[in-house]
Amino acid sequence: MKKPMKRFLLLIAGVVMLGFVSSCKEEGPHKDDIVKFSAVINSSATVPKATSAGQGTGVFEYNKATMELKYNINYQNVTPTSVNIHTASPSWEAGPLVFTLADKPTGSQVQGTQKLNTEQQTQLILGMMYVNIPSVNNIYGEIRGQILADKIEE
């Protein structure tokens, strides 16, 4: 009579453990296809250092399935010669140009979609990309902002 009871208890323990294991599947924003990023754009992080009243914001959505980065960049108090994405880590270094999002833009906003490759996707997710907005007076960048993943609210 003791053996059937032990087997029954082992069966129940196995079912309970299976429930625990299956409820521990990996979830989170890194599993979502759409990842949101943003950038605060000003002269504080420019390399070499620039002094400017210019400022802006960048809002980004990256679709991991299509590998497309959708961007909406707004700026003010600056007349840009271009709006670019560069890579650099750490964020206080200057890095190579990856994309020109707009050449001689007019207005105060640049929007669009840019296809990324696997290396660029990794750089984006690791926070190694930044928006750089140069001007005639500051050809290396009048304002700049690191593109960072938005914090997830639970």
pLDDT digits (tens, 9 = 90+) for 17-53: 555 555 555 555 556 799 999 999 999 989 889 999 9
Q: Which among 31, 35, 33, 32 has a CA at the least distance from the CA of 151? A: 35
More confident residue, 135 or 12: 135
Q: Tell me: the pLDDT tens digits for 67-102?
A: 999 999 999 999 999 999 999 876 678 899 999 999
Question: How many Å apart are CA 40 and CA 59, to the nearest integer?
Answer: 9
Q: Which of 53-62, 82-91, 132-141 bottoms out in mean pLDDT, i.e. has the lowest?
A: 82-91
Mean pLDDT, rounded, for 108-119: 98
Here the tokens at position 105 are: 């833009």
Secondary structure element (H or E) that encloses residue 124, with its range: helix 118-125
Give the pLDDT band of residue 152 (cuts 50, 70, 90). Answer: confident
When the pLDDT of each residue in the chain is averaged and rounded to a whole number, the result is 87
CATH class of the domain comprising 33-149 = mainly beta
User: Taking the domains of the chain in order of start, what are their residue ranges?
Assistant: 33-149
Cα distances (angstroms) measured from residue 74 to each of 14, 38, 94, 126, 131:
57, 11, 22, 23, 11
